[in-house]
Structure formats: structure tokens, C-alpha cells
Structure 1
């Protein structure tokens, strides 16, 4: 029987994995929100640099508005979360109607660190896979996706020891690897996925808030002053210091040079728009806590000095509040009502 998969929050990233999972022969139900009407009527259209394809039409087996509606198409073997990691979203509670206890494997394709706890608390009997994804893509209009030149999905179990401790978790992880590779994904199992998450955080915790706060692509910021590279490198080094304090000795200062080198290679081109910048440009909430807030709190707990990260966190959190609560054309007042 074909694997039955639910994709929750199908935007740009979700649409690419919808395409790959369908190619693997899966039955895929897509939970869509703002793009529901367009996707329900016409599916997705994907242009891809990586695959050298244009106007690839992709249509889910079923398109629904919510996990509650999706439950009628279950039970699901995998439930893949591709929404933003926003603490106020309470995503674990939202997907609960579509999760079958002890059966459905939950797959988190989200940015940041420290995102797994709410799922462990809500679904202690279900396999949980955590992923670090490298997939530059944008939904330029409802249902229309532009994909860049890379797709890498690194994943592991949460906790890491679950792969060896639980036959059910091991089976789910092995099945996910087989399915995604069959669909054409560059999917890699990582025995310690948290190392990969913190490695990616060197990029996310530096470029994301910097570009969002300056309304600039990475290359534009890099070229703005002769100290820009130093600023980015120092933020990356603070992430390295926190990661090493957590015991992730595989993450080293030398890695920062490779990461900043990727930005250098984009000169003199237009550069890229990190997700936080895209959110600001579109008036959407940012993943401030998962990308910057959590590492700052971990640093405080471990006694690691991270003054640059603290500055970025304070500024990005204030900007995020302004996006959410200020009135059009006005600054955010100090007595606004937080919800």
C-alpha cells in the first residue's frame, strides 16, 4: 500500500516535498492556508534551477484547510510540518486531530533549534524526525513556486538515541529515507541531527536577522561597509561557542569561513533573501525565537557571552512585535496589548 502522508502548511518548501513525495508514489494530502483557493483549483506550478525545469504542474491527492479536515483522509504514516516555527502557533496542538497515536511519524522540516519539545510532550508515543533543510525557494504568488539550485534534507530521530532504542522509530526513519530518495530528494540520515541544526544556525542566526533589520539581501549588506564581514563572522562564532558548550565539538570556528565564503561567491550578483527578510517585506511574523531567542537563552544558561546575538535578538524581537501589533502608518506604542 502506498505511504499516506499529510503535509501541514504547504508553501514553497512544502510544495517541493509534495512534488518529491508524489514522485515516490505516496498519497499526499496538503494542508494549505492563504494559498488554499489557488492550490485547490490549480495545484502548484514549480520552476526549478536545480532540476532545470519550468512550469511543472503538481497536484496533491487531496487539498484541505486544516488538520481536522485532513483527518478524514487518514490514518497517516507520516505527518510533515513545513510551517514556520512560531511559538504562538501551537502547531503540535493544531496537528493533533490528524495524528494516530503510536502510528503517525511526525517530521519537522523547520528552521531553528529547540523546536521539538512541544511535539514530544504532545505525542510521546509517536516517532519524531527532525530535519535541517537547505532548499532556496519562494512562493512568488499563490501556488507558483520558484526553486533555486539546491535541495538537501538532513534528518535524524529525536532524541538521537531513539533510532537505536526503538524498533518503531528506526523503522519510521528508514522508511522516510527510502521514500524521499525514491522521489529524488538528496536526503541524508544524520545520527546526531542536532549538530546539523546548530551548524545551519551559523547561517540562520547571523544572516536572517541582519538582512531583516537592514532590509538588504546578504550581498548588499556585505558590500555596504568594510566591517560587514567581521560583524557576520563574529555572530557565527558566538553560535559556535554555544554549540561547543552544549557538547557539539564537531562545530568549529573554521566552519565560519566556509559559511561566509558562500556569500562572497554571490558577489557581484543580487544575493539572496533569507526567510526573515522575506517575512518583513510581506508583513509576516518571523521565527525570532527558534533562530535567535533559543540560542541566546541557552548561552545564558551555560554562561557563554553572546553580546552580538543578544543585540540581534532584542532588535529582531522588537521588529517582530511591531509587525504584529503596530497600526498602519504608526510606530509601536509602549502600551500596546500583547496577545
Structure 2
């Protein structure tokens, strides 16, 4: 297969690497809008040729192609990477085949290391980091439910972000262009780098943050993440810690986190791409993050014990 070149994003095939909840949600929305979608899954996995999408419009079934061997594909014009952060090696195996000189890679993942995770297979000007603000939940093998409150996707206003925006808009999830993507990414990382590991370690949902002792630990961790983010150039306000805690407080009763769900299901957790990214960046700036470092070590040990 050669590079798929069409005049408009609406007629272009899209390869989606990572058929998890976010990948299925994006694949289904793009397929509904007429994009031929190829799902790139784990070798030997049961083929998935239809997605049952449930959203505010009800439940719809859309057809997709399925591939589990990168050798069967060539470059695509559009590639969406939606793997979990700890699955970067698998994603790179696909990118080696899917990325050509005219490919645009949309990285719809958590964290702040979007471009680093797809290098060296895609250059910086081929990569559009995207923050996912909608909630996607798997329902069986082929089903996914989307819930959102406001804009679902955030992209940067740099050249790659502008190039990716037409495709992102076709998802119908709403796209916000962030003039300061660094700040937007670190603000989201403040939530993910603390709420995910704390819920996973305690095996409790968001109500755990009502415990005064846990809340104090979370606030201290958030302060460390904010300090690293500011060293990275993020313009996080003085009240950023309180803002994040207020956001967590506003979550519906029983809300959990992706890392908690992975722990309960016995799956690997993406702690390295979240809290690990904070600790790595802290080292480059000489910033002290003792609590984040300690919690990262505990979650890593927990993850290792489950394997």
C-alpha cells in the first residue's frame, strides 16, 4: 500500500494504532464520517472488524479494517497513536511501516512526551500531540461508550496542530486549539500524575481524596508536579493545586482512574509515562520531587508484582 493522497481529510484512510477505549472511540467517529479506518492491533489478537459506539446519539455499529501484522501495510497519510504509554514499543513497530515522508501522526495519549514516544519514526513537524478530554469506556471486546462535558480534544496552534485540526474536527468531539499547549499538557498531567497512582495504590476511587491524610499527600505531590511544569515553561497559576483538587472533588461518586482500572484487571499500568515523566523532567532541572519519586517507586513495584 502506498501513501494515500486525497484532496481533503474527509476522504483519506486513517490507521489507528492501539484499539483501546480512546482508539476505538476515535476510530468509530472517523469511520462514521466516511474515513476508511484500519485498526492496528496486537499480533494474534481476535480480529475486530466492527465497533459498537455509544454516545449522545445512541448506539451505532461501524465497520473497520483490522490488521495485526505491520508487514502487511505501507505508509498512510494519517496515523493516530492511541496506545497506553507503556505500549510505546508496540506502537513504534507499527510506525516503522505506517510513517512515510507525507504522513501526519496524531498522538492522542496522556503525558507530555508525545513527540519523544514516536521518534525516530516521525519527525517533530510530522507529529501533532493531542490531549484527550472526553471519557471513553470499553464495553466488551467491540464496544466503546463516549461521555464528555465540553471540548473533547485539545491541539496546539503550531504547524502540526493546524495540519491535524481538520481530521480532529471530523471526530465531532470538539477541538480546542491551545495557544500555550505546554501549559495545557502540564495542567492535565497534574491530574493524571497524582489521581491515577493514588487510586491505583489504594485500590479506591476518587473518594479516597476526602481522607485528610491522603489529601495532604496529594496536595504535596501536585505542588511538586506544578514546580516541574513551571520549570518546563508551563504557566501554572499559584492556585493550580487547589484547582486540581476541586476538579477531583467534582468527579461523580464512584469515579475511578485508568490506572486503577488496569490494576484491578491485572494489566500493566502507565505509571512511567505519567509520574515517571515528572520525575525525569525534574532531574533535568535539578528540581526536588521526593514524594513523586517515592510514589513512583511504590507503583512500579506494585506493577512488577502483578506481572
Question: What TM-score range do you get, normalising by the shorter chain?
Answer: 0.7 to 0.9
Alignment of 1:1-339 (within 5 A): 1=6, 2-33=11-42, 37=46, 39-40=48-49, 43-48=50-55, 51=56, 53-60=57-64, 62-71=65-74, 75-86=75-86, 89=89, 91-100=91-100, 102-124=101-123, 127-150=126-149, 152-156=152-156, 163=159, 169=160, 173-219=161-207, 221-223=208-210, 225-248=211-234, 250-266=235-251, 269-270=253-254, 272-324=255-307
Structure 1 residues 34 and 143, CA, compared in 2 at 3 Å: closer, same or farther?
farther
Between structure 1 and structure 2, the one with the greater Rg is: 1
Q: TM-score, normalised on structure 2?
A: 0.88
Which residue in the other structure is 1:331 paired with?
A: none
CA distance in 1, matches of 2:25, 2:87: 25
CA contact (8 A) 2:25 2:145 kept: no
**Is the Cα–Cα contact under 8 Å of residues 136 and 144 in structure 2 kept in the other structure?**
yes
Match of 1:121, SS? coil
Q: Is the 8 A contact 1:23 1:182 kept in 2?
A: no
Aligned residues: 297
Kept after mapping to 2: 8 A contact 1:4/1:28: yes
Structure 2 residue runs without a partner (length 5+): 1-5
Instruction: Identify the residue that residue 336 of structure 1 maps to in structure 2.
Output: none
Contact 2:99–2:121 under 8 Å retained in 1: no
Unmatched segments (≥5 aa) in structure 1: 164-168, 325-339
**Structure 1 range deviating more: 145-154 or 235-244:** 145-154
Change (3 A) 1:123 1:265: closer
